[in-house]
Each structure stands twice: as C-alpha cells, then as structure tokens.
C-alpha cells in the first residue's frame, strides 16, 4: 500500500494484512531454508497466524516500537526485514530479516538493510542498530560485517527453539560509526 523504492524493480513496503496470503505462501515454500537463518517462523502455521502477526507488527509501529517491511521484486514478495523491536529508552533498533532462497546472493538484503538503517537513524533517532545471528550462519554474519556492524560477543543459550538452546552472536552499529 505504502512503499519505498530501493532500486530498479526492488521495493520495500510497509507490511499490511493484505500481504498475508502471498507472504504465507513464500514463508511456507522457504520454511526449511529459513529455519537455517535465526528466524524459524515458528508459530506461523496458518494464514490466520500470519494476519495476526502483521496486525501485531502494525500496532508496534503505531507505538513507535517496531517496523515491518515486505520486500518486493518486480511485484512479487521475496522477503521481509525490519525492526522487530525499537527500544526508545535506550534508542536501540533490533533488526531482523530474511529472503527467499532463490533471491539470496544478489546483494538485495544489503541494499534493503542500508535503507532500513537510514530510517532508524533518521526517523527513530536511534543511537544503535543491533542484530543477532546464529554463530554458524556465515551468510548473515558476512552481511552484517559488510554493512559496517561490529561483532560484540556470543551470548550462549539465549533462545530455546524446539527444545534446544541456541547461541546468538551479537552485532552492533552505532550512529557515531556511520
């Protein structure tokens, strides 16, 4: 409905419930691939779950506590990114992103993330953009490093997914480092 042009054919749009059917299809097709990224898409098992999640994201947006964008390439949904949490006391935006497998390796997320970081510093007056990656997710870690983030540590057993405790490698980009 509302959008930002990133590049020729590449747009990010504010995620609205009307995207739910197509988003759910893309997520379902990439579920196994995405589970290798940090985002396991647990809890999104139906179109209704997807619609509920989008409503929740829009409510966070209305409170200035989050921002969820859907990535379109030539009118087709190929991924999403955003701030899943904006901590307005500490001025930190927590980034999360995923791309359908077929569209990785083309620099798409790098360009979308650069735009998102700009929104964070310009509109939300962030002091820091923070991201987490699974220690073994070299693609995601390379993306963050390429985007100027600094590795700050690996917090152990910080997330329980299907009975297993996972570690997170934390990356940060300060406003002063831009």
Instruction: Count the residues in the chain.
Output: 178
> Does 165 sit near a copy of itself (CB under 8 A)?
yes
Terminal Cα distance for the chain, rounded: 30
Nearer to a copy of itself, 92 or 117 (CB): 92
Rama region for 74: left / alpha / beta (φ>0; ψ in -120 to 50; rest) = left
> Does 62 sit near a copy of itself (CB under 8 A)?
yes
> Does 160 sit near a copy of itself (CB under 8 A)?
yes
> Does 58 sit near a copy of itself (CB under 8 A)?
yes
Nearer to a copy of itself, 110 or 150 (CB): 150
Per the CB < 8 A criterion, the answer to whether 33 and 91 are in contact is no
> Does 115 sit near a copy of itself (CB under 8 A)?
no
> Does 4 sit near a copy of itself (CB under 8 A)?
yes
- Residue 172, classified by CB atoms within 10 Å of its CB into exposed (0-12), middle (13-18) or buried (19+), is middle
Among 40, 47, 61, 148, binds a copy of itself (CB under 8 A): 61
| Helix residue ranges, H only, the chain | 20-29, 31-36, 47-62, 108-122, 138-146
Per the CB < 8 A criterion, the answer to whether 166 and 158 are in contact is yes
> Does 64 sit near a copy of itself (CB under 8 A)?
yes
Selected range binding a copy of itself among 2-10, 20-28, 34-42, 95-103, rule: CB under 8 A: 2-10
In degrees and rounded to multiples of 5, residue 95 shows phi and psi of -90, 145
> Does 110 sit near a copy of itself (CB under 8 A)?
no
Best CA proximity match to 35, nearest among 170, 161, 165, 163 = 161
Selected range binding a copy of itself among 23-31, 76-84, 88-96, 136-144, rule: CB under 8 A: 88-96
Nearer to a copy of itself, 75 or 89 (CB): 89
Among 44, 73, 120, 128, binds a copy of itself (CB under 8 A): 128
């Amino acid at each position: 409905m509302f959008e930002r042009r990133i590049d020729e054919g590449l747009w990010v749009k504010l995620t609205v419930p009307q995207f739910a059917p197509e988003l759910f299809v893309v997520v379902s097709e990439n579920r196994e691939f995405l589970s290798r990224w940090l985002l396991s898409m647990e809890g999104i098992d139906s179109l209704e779950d997807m619609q509920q999640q989008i409503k929740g994201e829009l409510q966070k947006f209305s409170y200035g506590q989050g921002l969820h964008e859907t990535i379109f390439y030539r009118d087709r949904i190929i991924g999403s990114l955003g701030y899943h949490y904006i901590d307005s006391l500490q001025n930190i935006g927590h980034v999360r992103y995923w791309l359908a497998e077929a569209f990785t390796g083309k620099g798409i997320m790098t360009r979308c993330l650069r735009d998102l970081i700009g929104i964070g510093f310009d509109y939300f007056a962030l002091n820091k953009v923070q991201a987490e990656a699974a220690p073994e997710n070299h693609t995601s870690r390379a993306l963050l490093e390429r985007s100027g983030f600094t590795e700050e540590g690996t917090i152990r057993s910080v997330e329980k997914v299907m009975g297993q405790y996972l570690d997170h490698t934390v990356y940060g980009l300060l406003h002063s480092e831009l």
